């Protein structure tokens, strides 16, 4: 049996059988009404909602099928069952072809009739539920308000067999406006605004009450003075309610004067409107959540930007400290270079110049290494995780502050396990963490009267990489221990610290899911411990691969299909380097032409043919990248003759990204003649065939 009371209309012009059947139906729990004439039945069908119409005998001059058609038009969702005598079996069969559910032949048992009625009602119930379910499913399938409203009006029009429909929501000024519609003129829709309490929609919203309207509005006293739409002959105006809140109004209209909405339609539309109201409320909540999420995301971005700016500021402070020590480290080898070079110029050598030249080269390489460390530390890059060897990185950082360590007569004791596995980290951030901690240790020992020592211990424990930095200084005052990682906390005098170093160390360690802890050591001194989750890398990367060096990039380039080199163009704005390349390449027997800027080089390439173009990236007038593109436009094969040289590929001028994108050979400055010819022989010079 159905779970709700079904409403049945019995049409029979014989009173006694009709009354008997009505009593039986009511006894079974149905709401049943009787009609003697078809005219009476049709009026009842206009005024009420019926789930089933039971025709026993339709006393009318019109044919049975016409009567069925009228019932179907007035109550399209009601099922029709006939009780047919032997004489009108043919009529019943024909009626089934026209859509009645079934017929029962006289004489009948009440039990059989009730079974047919129940099946008809179940069909009606299932059809209604499926329609509402499908409509609700489509509506709830989207959380975006615009999509939801559009699907809702589409389903309203379809399920309710309407000619037009609309959904109205409150705008920012508190008036009802059409948010979605079907079957309406777009120009008319844009101009509609309804005050709450005005017209039908405004009253339905204010009173939280649905309205069923047939024909003209002047038939209804409560809408006296409200102008009717001549096209609309019946409409339903239903509030969208979620909980105790009215969210909007649903308007559903039919234009046909014969096919009016009825109470059944209003009931179904009200059920549907409740679903739409809940969906609208969910979409509103979703919009609020999205808005809050966007606000949080933007706030997070602002904080990230601020953090990056603070990191950059602190890095500048660190660089300032490092430069003082590194200048000492660079000046020493430069003194040797200048001194021995002067001796060679003056002819002050007895056993030949080779030993002095080797010293000059060695000390120049020493300067190169120090500068490379500083450039790497100063590099501005996006956070990236890659395999790194933390012990090698620690050694780099110790070399960077070697000048300060030496000046302050500090002993450094290192204890690294061997081999230490590579870990996934951002090398730039890890470098900044180590430099900050080590620099703080050096500062703690600057004026310390006793033994000055820094112990650097690295170990693996419970899946963690742990780095301990212990100094032999005076330690951290107990009242400061809880504050040292707070932003802007510093005990140094104005101008000697930002108070950001340790707070950024803490933040960067957290980004790596690590922890930083500070404590005083028994007997004097302070200890900073940093722990990171140790994720072993399946294939340890070499130092070259980790640093994405130029040699790694060159190894990815394909040999240039070039004839044996005879003529070379050198494009270099620095005169000393340009003349050096002229001498080195000319000494090998090449015919060498030179240009000091990009535009001059392009002009020479237009007029002459070169097998090799050795080109600096940073050039006046036309930089190396633009020159490359211009030459490629002239002749694609010429682009494969470029060998770039640069001293700034790590400094954020776009050079390294350009080399990666175009896979062009690249040689970083400084370089020796042997290194230059190694690249030329490998990628440009075809091997001579031996006979």
pLDDT tens, position by position, 506-539: 878 888 888 999 999 988 899 999 999 876 543 4
pLDDT at 544: 36
What residues does each domain of the chain span?
7-134, 141-288, 381-533, 548-683
Per-residue pLDDT averaged across 671-677, rounded? 84
Strand partners, 517: 529
**What count of Cα atoms within 13 Å lies in the side-chain half-sphere of residue 283?**
21
Number of Cβ atoms within 10 Å of the Cβ of 5? 11
Quote the CA–CA distance of 10 and 113 in Å, as a whole number.
13
Quote the CA–CA distance of 324 and 310 in Å, as a whole number.
22
For the ranges 63-67, 226-230, 674-678, the one whose mean pLDDT is highest: 674-678
Fold that domain 141-288 belongs to in CATH = Beta-Lactamase (3.30.450)
- Computed over every residue of the chain, the mean pLDDT equals 79
Indicate left, alpha or beta for 123 from its phi (over 0: left) and psi (-120 to 50: alpha).
Answer: alpha
pLDDT at 58: 57
pLDDT at 648: 58
What the block records as the tokens of 385 is: 């995780």
Quote the CA–CA distance of 74 and 61 in Å, as a whole number.
19
Q: Quick one: which of 667, 218, 313, 290 has its CA closest to 504?
A: 313
| SS3 assignment, position 527 | strand
What the block records as the tokens of 44 is: 């009842």
**CATH code of domain 381-533:** 3.30.565.10
What the block records as the tokens of 220 is: 């209804």
Note the pLDDT tens digit of each residue in 131-152: 666 666 666 666 678 888 888 8
What the block records as the tokens of 387 is: 């395999």
pLDDT at 479: 84
Q: In this structure, are residues 682 and 567 in contact, taking their beta carbons and an 8 Å threshold?
A: no
Q: In this structure, are residues 322 and 436 in contact, taking their beta carbons and an 8 Å threshold?
A: no
Note the pLDDT tens digit of each residue in 373-386: 566 555 545 556 78
pLDDT at 467: 95
Asked whether this chain's domains 7-134 and 548-683 adopt the same fold, the reply is: yes
The domain covering 548-683 belongs, at the CATH homologous superfamily level, to: Response regulator (3.40.50.2300)
Task: Say yes or no to pLDDT of 580 above 90.
Answer: no
Element (H, E) at 606: helix 598-607
Q: At what angle do helices 263-346 and 145-159 cross, to 10 degrees?
A: 150
Note the pLDDT tens digit of each residue in 51-80: 889 888 655 556 777 778 888 888 877 888
Quote the CA–CA distance of 517 and 532 in Å, as a whole number.
12
Number of Cβ atoms within 10 Å of the Cβ of 127? 12
Bigger pLDDT: 278 vs 382: 278
Give the model's confidence band at 394: pLDDT under 50 very low, under 70 low, under 90 confident, else very high: very high
pLDDT at 556: 45
Residues in the chain: 691
Quote the CA–CA distance of 620 and 626 in Å, as a whole number.
11
Top-tier CATH class for 7-134: alpha beta
| SS3 assignment, position 94 | helix
For residue 343, CA distances in Å to 207, 366, 576 come to: 105, 20, 21
Quote the CA–CA distance of 388 and 558 in Å, as a whole number.
28
Note the pLDDT tens digit of each residue in 587-625: 888 999 999 999 999 999 999 999 999 999 888 889 899
Give the model's confidence band at 688: pLDDT under 50 very low, under 70 low, under 90 confident, else very high: very low
Per-residue pLDDT averaged across 358-385, rounded? 66
Per-residue pLDDT averaged across 542-566, rounded? 46
Give the model's confidence band at 238: pLDDT under 50 very low, under 70 low, under 90 confident, else very high: very high
């Amino acid at each position: 049996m159905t779970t709700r009371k079904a409403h049945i209309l019995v049409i029979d012009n014989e009173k006694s059988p009709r009354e008997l059947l009505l009593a039986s139906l009511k006894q079974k729990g149905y709401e049943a009404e009787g009609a003697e004439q078809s005219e009476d039945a049709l009026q009842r069908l206009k005024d009420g909602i019926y789930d089933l119409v039971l025709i026993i005998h339709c006393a009318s001059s019109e044919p049975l099928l016409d009567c069925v058609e009228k019932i179907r038009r007035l109550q399209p969702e009601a099922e029709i069952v006939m009780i047919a005598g032997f004489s009108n079996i043919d009529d019943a069969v024909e009626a089934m072809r026209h859509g009645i559910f079934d017929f029962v032949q006289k004489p009948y048992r009440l039990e059989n009739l009730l079974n047919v009625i129940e099946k008809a009602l179940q069909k009606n119930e299932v059809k209604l539920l499926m329609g509402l379910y499908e409509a609700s499913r489509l509506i709830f399938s989207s959380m975006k308000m615009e999509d939801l409203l559009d699907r809702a009006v589409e389903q309203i029009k379809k399920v309710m067999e309407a000619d037009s429909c609309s959904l109205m929501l409150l705008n920012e000024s508190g008036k009802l406006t059409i948010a979605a519609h079907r079957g309406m003129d777009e120009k008319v829709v844009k101009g509609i605004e309804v005050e709450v309490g005005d017209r039908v929609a405004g009253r339905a919203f204010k009173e939280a009450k649905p309205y069923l309207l047939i024909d003209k509005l002047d038939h209804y006293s409560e809408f006296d003075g409200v102008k009717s739409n001549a096209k609309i002959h019946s409409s339903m105006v239903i509030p969208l309610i979620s909980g105790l809140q009215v969210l909007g109004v649903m308007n559903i209209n039919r234009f046909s004067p014969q096919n009016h909405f009825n109470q059944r339609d209003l009931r179904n539309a009200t059920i549907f409107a409740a679903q739409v109201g809940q969906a609208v409320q969910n979409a509103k909540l979703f919009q609020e959540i999205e808005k809050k999420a966007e606000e949080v995301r933007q706030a997070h971005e602002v904080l990230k930007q601020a953090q990056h700016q603070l990191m950059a500021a602190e890095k500048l402070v660190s660089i300032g400290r490092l430069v003082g020590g590194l200048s000492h480290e660079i000046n020493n080898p430069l003194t040797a270079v200048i001194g021995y070079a002067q001796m060679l110029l003056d002819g002050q050598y007895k056993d030949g110049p080779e030993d002095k030249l080797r010293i000059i080269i060695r000390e120049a390489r020493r300067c190169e290494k120090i500068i490379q460390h500083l450039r790497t530390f100063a590099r501005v890059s996006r956070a990236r995780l890659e395999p790194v060897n933390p012990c090698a990185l620690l050694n780099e950082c110790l070399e960077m502050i070697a000048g300060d360590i030496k000046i302050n007569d500090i002993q450094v004791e290192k204890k690294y396990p061997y081999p230490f596995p590579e870990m996934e980290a951002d090398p730039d951030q890890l470098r900044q963490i180590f430099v900050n901690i080590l620099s703080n240790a050096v500062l703690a020992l600057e004026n310390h009267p006793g033994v000055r020592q820094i112990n650097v211990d690295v170990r693996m424990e419970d899946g963690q990489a742990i780095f301990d930095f212990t100094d032999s200084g005076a330690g951290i005052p107990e009242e400061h221990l809880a504050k040292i990682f707070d932003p802007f906390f510093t005990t140094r005098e104005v101008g000697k610290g930002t108070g950001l170093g340790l707070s950024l160390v803490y933040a960067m360690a957290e980004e790596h899911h690590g922890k930083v802890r500070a404590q005083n050591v028994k007997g004097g001194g302070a200890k900073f411990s940093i722990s990171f989750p140790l994720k072993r890398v399946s294939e340890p990367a070499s130092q070259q691969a980790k640093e994405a060096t130029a040699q790694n990039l060159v190894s990815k380039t394909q040999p240039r299909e070039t004839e044996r080199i005879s003529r070379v163009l050198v494009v270099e704005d620095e005169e000393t380097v340009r003349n050096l390349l002229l001498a080195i390449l000319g000494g090998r027997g090449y015919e060498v032409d030179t240009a000091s800027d990009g535009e001059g080089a392009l002009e020479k390439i237009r007029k002459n043919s070169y097998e090799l173009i050795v080109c600096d990236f940073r050039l006046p007038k036309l930089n190396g990248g633009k020159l490359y593109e211009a030459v490629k436009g002239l002749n694609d094969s010429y682009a494969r003759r470029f060998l770039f040289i640069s001293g700034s590929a790590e400094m954020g001028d776009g050079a390294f990204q350009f080399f990666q994108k175009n896979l062009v050979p690249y040689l970083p400055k400084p370089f020796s003649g042997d290194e230059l010819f190694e690249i030329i022989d490998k990628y440009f010079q075809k091997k001579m065939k031996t006979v």
